[in-house]
Structure 1
Amino acid sequence: MKDQLGLYYYPNPAEKRVRMYVRKRYGQVEFRLWNSEAPQIWEGHDWVPYEAIVAAAEEYKKRKAGVDPLEMYDIRVAERLLADAGGEPA
């Protein structure tokens, strides 16, 4: 899907208040979270490259606490959105 902020998907399809925006920059897929009930998330956090998400997932595996970042930041969905929008897959 696309709106004025860019391409996005719903990380949890049942929760339409939260969107995950995706873009490809300098050959890397980047993500940015938006939440209609917490606009400060968008304003306070920049785009995150997928490499940083993978690193965070490694820390999650070590600590086994919180939510696995790879569940929310889905590279397969992002690549499909980018390809469908006319861009090359990551």
Structure 2
Amino acid sequence: MKDERGLYYHPHAGDSLSRVYVRRGPDGEVEFRLWSADHPEVWERHPWLSLSVVQNAARFYKEERNRNADPLKLYDLVVARALLAEDEA
């Protein structure tokens, strides 16, 4: 899907209040940015992030804060690449 912020997908089925936006960064790597209707400040506080940055942050989060959580479930590289390919076609 696409809106004024760019290409996005819903990370949780049935939840239209959260979106993960995707784009190609300057180096061609896929980048992600989270938006939430419940927490619009997240968009302002967090910049575009590459998957490697997301993976490092998720590892830190699991080790330091919540071993049971998996923040990587939000960031789907397969879906992101499919959206980008469709948009570029």
Q: Considering the TM-score relative to the shorter chain, is it more than 0.5?
A: yes
Please indicate the TM-score interval, normalised by the length of the shorter structure. Answer: 0.7 to 0.9
Q: CA RMSD in A?
A: 1.8
TM-score, scaled to structure 1: 0.84
What is the deviation of 1:60? 5.5
For these two proteins, the number of residue pairs brought into alignment is 87
Give matches, 1:1-90, under 5 Å: 1-25=1-25, 26-59=27-60, 62=63, 65-86=67-88
CA distance in 2, matches of 1:45, 1:66: 23
- Where 1:22 maps in the other structure, the secondary structure is strand
Structure 2 regions of 5+ residues with no counterpart?
none
Other structure's SS at 2:41 match:
helix
The TM-score normalised by the length of structure 2 is: 0.85
Structure 1 unmatched ranges of 5 or more = none
- Checking the alignment, whether the CA contact within 8 Å between 1:60 and 1:66 is kept in structure 2 is no
